[in-house]
Every structure is written in structure tokens, then in C-alpha cells.
Structure 1
Amino acid sequence: MTDDPHLVANLERYRGFAAIYDKYRPLPPPALVGLISQLAGRTHFDCVVDLASGSGISTRLWADHADNVIGIEPNEDMREYAAAQSAQQPHLRYQGGLARQTGLPDQCADVVSIGNALHWMEPVTFMAEVARLLRPNGVFCAFQANFPPTLNWQAELTDQSFMNKAGTMAEARGLVEHVRKWRYDEHVRQMNESGRFRYVKELSLHSTEQGNAERFVGLMLSQGLIHTLFKAGVTEAEIGIPHYRETIQRLLGDEPQTWYFSFRILIGIP
């Protein structure tokens, strides 16, 4: 699909663990659909396009609110998993493509969304594609969850230390040399400077979910960084996962408790 080393590295980072990703990642904030509907002035849409749709978590959000929902995802295993989850919903479909080059017609979408993936997108080409896809007065929305969720300060510090060490290990082994991320403010600046969007707004939404130690460990295992290490042959013991799992089990146990998620939201209207 591409020989861009940055894009290849970014895509490979999320290949091969769709089921884990889908099981442990948070759902989009429930208020998001209401927010977009209010801004769009309608409660049901003809077509929603979900970019970098992954396992379909953010795509399925629109199932009851649109006649057609299209998930664009370059990773075949993610697409296949997402399609299997939506097998009984024929108006949800997934197709291969890049978020910056979907292959969809001009002005085909009432809503263009992207969940937990905006930081992987090069702002200039991505925002140009978003603007091309949107119909007049259509709405673009991006959401990004802050990880880890707020639930236990000791568990959060354990996770922060663990992920920092994993990142250092990946860097030392040359595994993230070509991985590239972009900051939210780079996308906001591009939206404002491009002249393609009349309305640009950042805000926050929040949600709560339930989880225990097993889910907290699963959330860690849904991170692309960890699977980058696995693919390079690094063992769980070398990464420190057994100690992490033992510590989180001691801190959180088996009983579910409330997890508090906050989401950074970016809205644009062309």
C-alpha cells in the first residue's frame, strides 16, 4: 500500500492483535453522538465515514444513527475482525484504505470521525481528505482517550513507569526509529490555516466504565508499543509483564470498580 517508512512503521504497530484491542479499549464517550447531532442539526445521517477504524469500536458507535457507515482501515486483520463483529448489520461496512487517501467520492459523508488515531495522521494530507469527504455543513470529529484512566493512583504510577521502560527498551533496540506521531495542536493549526473549516473547536468529554486488574493488564496489552516488542522477539519476562501483572492484581483485585475516562475532542465544520 505504501513504501513510506513512517507510514509502514505506524501501520505495523497495530497489526496482529485486533481481538485484544477490541476487548480492552474504552468505548467512545456516550455524549459524542448527541454533540455531533446537535451541531449538525439532525439526529440521523445518510452516511458516516470512520477513518482508521481499527477493530470497529468507533465505527459501531454510529450503527443506530446512520443509514450507511463506512470504516476505512489499512490493516487487513483489523478489518476482518471488525466485519465479523458487524456481520448482522449490513449497513456497516469496512474497506481498505488510508485515512489520507480513502478512495471514496467527494462530499459523500455527513460525518467523518476518527477515534484514538489522530496522532498517527500527517495533518496536511489528512485534513485535506476530511474536507473533501464532508458534505456542506457536515461535521468532522476526532476523539482521543487519555490513558490510563483514573481509578487508582498507585496502579496509574505503575503503568506510567512500566510504559516508560518499555519505550526506552524499544528505542534501544531500534524498533521505533520510523514511528511518527503528530500533536493535536498541529492538526488544530492546520485546520485553522487551511481555510477549509469555518468552525474549529476543542473540548473534553468524559465517561465511566467498569474494570478490574485483568482489564487493566489487558489495556496495557492493547498498546502497539508492547506488540512491537513482542514482534521483535522480546519476551514478557524481559519486558517486565509478570511483575506488572502481579502488582496490578495486588492493587486492583478481581472486583470491578469504576474507571473514569476523559477524552480530548476536536470538531471541524467546513
Structure 2
Amino acid sequence: MLIVYILEVIYLNTSIKNAEMKNKDRFLGFADVYDQVRPGMPEYPIEIITKYLNKKADVVVDLGCGSGLSTIAWKNHCNAVIGIEPSDDMFLAANQKADHTISFKKSFAHETGLSSDCADAVICSQSFHWMDPELTLAEVNRILKTGGVFAAVDYDWPPVCKWEAEAAHKQLFYKVSCLEEEHGDLKESFIRWDKNKHLSNIINSGYFRYQREIVFANRELCDAKRFIGMALSQSGLQSIIQHKPHLIKNALDEYTETIQCLFAGETMEADFCYRMRLGIK
């Protein structure tokens, strides 16, 4: 029985390590595009987290911070914010934004290396679905102070603007999902957890005395270049471009031409629709 247990532990640790490396490497090669077009953290979730804390946060930890867009949004809203990011390219882009209140650490979300009970708030901005929820929430519980807030903040694709552009985006990513299903090497290159289970994972962890979901929208300006860039900032499309470009070239060319025609050189308002799932420790 002991041997079986040891083998199970080894298998679990190997599976976790494989998932870590797959998802870490999935974000190589397009940090510049990501940084230029992705939305940052809106003011609203920061206001809600601050309201639930009933004070200005001392330390905020941003897990899977990417290029640091969601980290720097906390400047002047807390005394210190630490972005955690395992991907080499994203970490380098993020670290350029560091200052006396903003810092970045290259590590995984479930093993941050931070001190226990150090954070008033821990956030995952468009990143929790790339993390093992059980291991990550255990780490969140370890570093989060009693009374602290954990929040997973995600936006829906595409943003609300022109319905024809939205339809083109959905068509392109339907093609991406089909290609991932058809090609085993693409399908096996990542592990993604279901966003729709974020709240239930928070509840079932048993770490939080209060949990809820909050839905809101945030308006930003968008032109054809940004709309196309947002598609190019998604790891699924990037994986195909980097490894099997011939499979997606025609669809991507058609998408680019469609979006450029629809926007016709104009800049317009676009609404990003958000879902924030949170827990109070």
C-alpha cells in the first residue's frame, strides 16, 4: 500500500509539473502584443475589494499577472502590490513596470514563496483558469490574512462593439477550437480549467466564510488595430501561429480584412463584460 501511495504522489507531482510548464510556455513570444491591447484592471473591482476590506489594502498579490497590466492598476490603491508570473516573456514585460510600491516575482501561483498571512487581497485577473484551483486556493489561503479578499476577475470575449466584428471574432476562435481538437499536439499543449467553476471552487475549498459573483462592464476605446490585436493576444491563436501557421493563415487573413473594413479607420467605444468571483477569508 505504501508503494502504491508513493507512486500516486509521484504521478500527481509529475502531472502538476507538466501542467505548469505547458501553461507557462503557452505565453511565450507575444508579450508585446498582449501588453499593448489587453484591458487593464478596471477601477470597479478595486473599489469593491477595498469596500469589503473596509480599509486601504496594505499588500495586494496579483497571481498570474501577465505583463503587469492588472498589477499597476493597484498603484495608489494599496501600499504595495506584488505581481506573480511564471512565464519568462511576460515577467520581463511586467518587471519593466516595477517601482517603489510595485514589484514582480517569477514564480507559480501555487508556490509563490511569499510569507504566510502577508496579503490583504489576492487577485487573479484573467488567469485563474490557467492554474490548478485546489493547489492555488491552498496557497491563497496561506498568504491571505484573515478577513482578506480573494478575487478572480475575468472578462468575456469579444468586447461589445459592432455585432459583425463580434461574430467574426467568434468565427475565428471556433476555427481555433476545431484545430485544437483535430491536432493532438495542439490539444495536449495546455491545460485549462473551466471559468464557470471558479465560484464553486472558491466555495468548495472551505477557506472562505463569504463568497459571491459580481457582474459588471467597463468601457474602453477600440479601433481595428486593437480589435485585431486582442485576437492575436490570445494564447490559443498564438500557439497555432507559432507552430502550425498554415492551418490558420487564410482564416486570420479573412478576419483581419473583415475587421479593418468594419471599423473603417474609426475608433469607437467597446464594453468589456466582466465576472468577478470572490471570497472573504
Shared fold (TM-score, shorter chain, > 0.5): yes
1:9-58 Cα distance to aligned partner (Å, 9 max, x none): 2222111211110111112222111111110001x222111000110011
Taking a change above 3 Å as real, the CA distance of residues 200 and 259 of structure 1, as seen in their structure-2 partners, is: same
Distance 2:133 2:109 in 1: 11
Matches within 5 A, 1:172-211: 172-174=182-184, 175-211=186-222
Superposed displacement of residue 236, structure 1: 8.2
Picking from 110, 116, 129, the partner of 2:139 is: 129
Give 2:129's aligned residue. Answer: 119
Letter in structure 1 aligned against 2:128: L
1:9 aligns to 2:22 (yes or no): yes
Q: Is 65-74 or 172-181 further displaced after alignment?
A: 172-181
Distance 1:223 1:138 in 2: 31
Superposed displacement of residue 172, structure 1: 2.2
Q: Secondary structure at the match of 1:240?
A: helix
Picking from 208, 231, 247, the partner of 1:220 is: 231
Distance 1:186 1:159 in 2: 24
Superposed displacement of residue 178, structure 1: 4.3
1:76 aligns to 2:104 (yes or no): no
Q: Secondary structure at the match of 2:276?
A: strand
Q: Secondary structure at the match of 1:67?
A: strand
1:45 aligns to 2:89 (yes or no): no
How many residue pairs match? The answer is 267
1:142 aligns to 2:152 (yes or no): yes
Identity %: 34
Superposed displacement of residue 233, structure 1: 4.1
Superposed displacement of residue 235, structure 1: 4.2
Q: TM-score with structure 2 length normalisation?
A: 0.90
Give 1:156's aligned residue. Answer: 166
Mark the runs of 5 or more structure 2 residues left unpaired by the alignment: 1-13
Taking a change above 3 Å as real, the CA distance of residues 237 and 144 of structure 1, as seen in their structure-2 partners, is: closer
Distance 2:255 2:243 in 1: 20
Taking a change above 3 Å as real, the CA distance of residues 217 and 225 of structure 1, as seen in their structure-2 partners, is: same
Give 1:18's aligned residue. Answer: 31
Q: RMSD in angstroms over aligned alpha carbons?
A: 1.8
Q: Is 241-250 or 173-182 further displaced after alignment?
A: 173-182
Picking from 100, 106, 110, the partner of 1:100 is: 110
Q: Secondary structure at the match of 2:114?
A: coil
